[in-house]
Amino acid sequence: MKTAIVILNWNGKQLLEQFLPSIVNFNSDEAEIYVADNASTDDSIEFVKRNFPTVKIVVNKTNGGYAKGYNDALQHIKADIYCLINSDIEVTENWLPPILKVFKENENTAIIQPKLLDYKNKSKFEYAGAGGGFVDFLGYPYCRGRLFNNLEEDKGQFNDIADIFWASGACFFIRSAVFHNLGGFDEDYFAHQEEIDLCWRTQNEGYDVQYVGTSTVYHVGGATLQESNPQKTYLNFRNSLFTILKNVPRKHVFLIIFIRLILDGVAGIKFAVELRPIHTWSILKAHFSFYKNLIPFIKKRRQLQRKYNYSIHTSIVWQHFVLQRKNFKNLL
């Protein structure tokens, strides 16, 4: 089973210098390592060529973000399994074999995520994927080990192999045939939550998404766009609405969008009260972009199959903020 580890890079020499050695040192003979460069203007590619001659390089003509960046690069990479991994990930010894074993033993498994822990506090789960992701009734993503900003300590509670709803794009394994058959990531997302959309579409085709907790990586998180960056606020709020419109069942979709728009307004007021009006403006811009793209996304919606495999029985907002449930195991 030929595996390609593909690191998307944009002006990331510092990150490559810090984290690429762990991927090279803990690589297996089954995997080839690639750096897919998104039209960087620094000397990161020269750095890779000079210091890691075994690492192959694919150069994209433009910076199309995470979605287009990987779509463009993977057209030039031949493998059975793609491992799409952020440049701010530190891997651990023997991280690959448990994942490849699941792919070999389960032909229906199309996407896998390892355990994601926080590089800055290695005893805790990391925000971007933790112990595997789910989506609640209102389209809010959450994880085993992470509810909103509440991160659990890793005590081995998620050292299992489990079905999940979405795998984190920070370290995202996918069968190449499935990736290409589905047309890859939706490039209208640019970055953030495009992996949730792809996982949703993958399950609509009858495949499984799994978490393999016997493989561990450490993620810095926010190395490209920090949590305080208004562009990240804009992309997260807009892309969440895109995903709802594109994938949620028809009988629920308009009600859920209406509720989400109201809750987004509440979030905008909260940012304003906290004297962070630039984030309030980011939410408004996200809504304007959503309205602008309504027709194209309705057209995309009509092209998709419908299995609607998501958690319609729960609201993570209600359980976390009203019922004060902070850990995944306490959710109803």
**pLDDT, tens digit, 9 for 90 and up, residues 230-244:** 999 999 999 999 999
Q: Give backbone dihedrals phi and psi of 299, rounded to 5 degrees, phi first.
A: -65, -40
Give residue-wise pLDDT tens across range 85-130: 999 999 999 999 999 999 999 999 999 999 999 999 999 999 999 9
How confident is the model at residue 69, as a pLDDT? Answer: 97
How confident is the model at residue 94, as a pLDDT? Answer: 94
Higher pLDDT, 265 or 330: 265
Higher pLDDT, 30 or 150: 150
Question: Among 54-58, 97-101, 239-243, 248-252, which stretch is predicted with the lowest mean pLDDT?
Answer: 248-252
How confident is the model at residue 225, as a pLDDT? Answer: 53
How confident is the model at residue 92, as a pLDDT? Answer: 96
How confident is the model at residue 27, as a pLDDT? Answer: 84
Distance CA 88, CA 51 (A): 18
How confident is the model at residue 228, as a pLDDT? Answer: 72
Which among 324, 322, 327 is positioned nearest to 142, based on CA atoms? 327
The whole-number average pLDDT for the span 29-37 is: 92
Evaluate if pTM is beyond 0.85: yes
How confident is the model at residue 248, as a pLDDT? Answer: 87
The whole-number average pLDDT for the span 27-38 is: 90
pLDDT-based confidence at residue 307 (cuts at 50, 70, 90): low
Is residue 34 over pLDDT 90? yes
Distance CA 16, CA 35 (A): 9
Give residue-wise pLDDT tens across range 189-226: 999 999 999 999 999 889 999 999 999 999 998 655 55
How confident is the model at residue 105, as a pLDDT? Answer: 98
- Neighbouring C-beta atoms of residue 322, cutoff 10 Å: 9
Q: Give the 3-state secondary structure percentages of the chain, helix then strand then coil, rounded to 5.
A: 40, 25, 35
Is residue 59 over pLDDT 60? yes
Domains of the chain: 3-219 (3.90.550.10), 230-315 (no CATH)
The whole-number average pLDDT for the span 273-291 is: 97
- Residue spans of beta strands (DSSP E) within 61-180: 81-85, 89-91, 109-118, 121-125, 133-135, 141-143, 146-147, 150-151, 161-163, 171-175
How confident is the model at residue 309, as a pLDDT? Answer: 56
